[in-house]
Amino acid sequence: MNFKRVIKECGYPIISKEVSKMVETAKHKPNGRVAQLFDINSDRVREKTKKYGKNWGETYIKYQYLLNAPFKISNRCCDIMKKKPSKQYTKETGTYPFIGTMACESRMRKNGWLQTGCNIFDSDRPKSMPLSFWTEQDILHYIKEFGLEYAPIYGEIKSNERGEYYTTGVDRSGCMFCVFGCHLEKQPNRFQRLKETHPKIWEFCMKPTDKGGLGMKEVLDYINVPYE
C-alpha cells in the first residue's frame, strides 16, 4: 500500500505518532477513555493531573481541535509501509533486525528503551536497538571522527564555539511526505525546503486529492504550518 492510499484509507500522520494514534482512537470511540483525555473537564484528566501534575493534561488538550479536522488522522503509515514489510521479511528469511532508533528521539522510544533495554530476546519478534542510548551528538561525533560516509542531504558536519556538532543541511530525514514534528521546525521547514529542492514532488504533495495529489495543503493549513 503506497502513501497516497494509506492517507486515503487511514489518515494523515501529523504532530506525532502518539497524538495521531490518540486522535484516531478518540474519533472512532468519542465516548471512550482515550477521548476523555482531550476534555479538560473529564474525570480521567482530573485523575491524571492529580497524579502527575497540573501540566499533564496539556499534552492532549492542546490538540483537541484535531478531533474536528475535515480529514482523517492516523499513525498507521509507518506500520503499513515499514513495519509490516519488515515483519514479512523476517518471517520469510528467519533473520531479525538491528534498528537504528535512539531513545532521545521521542518519549515513546525512551519509554520503550527503559522497559526493555537495547536487546529484546523474549519476544515474538526479537530485535536489537544498539543505538538506543546514543545521542545525536554521539552520532555526529562518531561519523566525523571515523570519516564515515553519510547521505549528502545532511550537508557538512561542523562544530560551533561550544564544541557541539551540527549539520549544514537537514538535521533529520525520513519519509519526505511525513508531517510528524514539522510544527516544531524553524523556517524553512521540510516542506518549504522541498519546494526548493524537489518542486514537482512539492506540487504533488500540495495538490488536492480529487486532482490526483496528496492534499497536504489543506492539512498544513489546518495545523498552521507554512509550506511556501
As a dihedral over the C-alpha atoms of residue 50, residue 52, residue 55, residue 57, rounded to 10 degrees, the angle is -80
Q: Are residues 8 and 63 in the same domain?
A: yes
Query: Domains in the chain: how many in total?
Result: 3
Q: Are residues 200 and 147 in the same domain?
A: no
Q: For residues 48 and 50, give the distance between their C-alpha atoms in angstroms, rounded to a whole number.
A: 5
Q: What is the DSSP letter of 166?
A: E
- Does residue 172 fall inside a structural domain? no
- Does residue 91 fall inside a structural domain? no
What is the per-residue pLDDT for 80? 95
What is the per-residue pLDDT for 128? 94
Residue appearing with cell numbers 481541535: 65
Domain boundary among 43, 68, 93: 68
- Does residue 74 fall inside a structural domain? no
Q: Are residues 8 and 64 in the same domain?
A: yes
Q: For residues 47 and 51, give the distance between their C-alpha atoms in angstroms, rounded to a whole number.
A: 6
Q: Are residues 201 and 157 in the same domain?
A: no
Domain boundary among 44, 68, 92: 68
What is the per-residue pLDDT for 73? 97
State how far the alpha carbon of 48 is from the alpha carbons of 16, 20, 41, 114, 223, in Å. Answer: 21, 20, 12, 21, 26
pTM for the whole structure: 0.81
51: which residues sit within 8 A by CB, 6+ positions away? none
What is the per-residue pLDDT for 221? 98
Domain boundary among 45, 68, 91: 68
- Does residue 113 fall inside a structural domain? no
What is the per-residue pLDDT for 57? 67
* Burial degree of 8 (CB within 10 A; 0-12, 13-18, 19+): middle
- Does residue 131 fall inside a structural domain? no
Q: Which domain holds residue 51?
A: 3-68
Q: For residues 102 and 56, give the distance between their C-alpha atoms in angstroms, rounded to a whole number.
A: 24
CA 74 and chain centroid, separation: 11
Q: For residues 114 and 215, give the distance between their C-alpha atoms in angstroms, rounded to a whole number.
A: 38
Instruction: Please tell me the number of Cα atoms within 13 Å of 24 on its side-chain side.
Output: 20
- Does residue 86 fall inside a structural domain? no
Q: What is the pLDDT along the chain (228 residues), one digit of tens a residue?
A: 999 999 999 999 999 998 999 999 999 999 888 888 888 778 887 787 777 776 766 778 889 999 999 999 999 999 999 989 999 999 999 999 999 999 998 888 898 899 899 999 888 889 999 999 999 999 999 999 999 999 988 999 999 999 999 999 888 788 889 999 999 999 999 999 999 989 999 999 999 999 999 999 999 999 999 999
Torsions phi, psi for 166 (to 5 deg): -150, 165
In b/e form, how buried is each residue of 19-57, taking b as 16+ CB within 10 angstroms?
bbbbbbbbbeeeeeebbbbbbeebeebeebeeeeeeebb
124: which residues sit within 8 A by CB, 6+ positions away? none
- Does residue 48 fall inside a structural domain? yes
Q: Are residues 57 and 27 in the same domain?
A: yes
Q: Are residues 25 and 57 in the same domain?
A: yes
Q: For residues 158 and 169, give the distance between their C-alpha atoms in angstroms, rounded to a whole number.
A: 11
- Does residue 188 fall inside a structural domain? yes
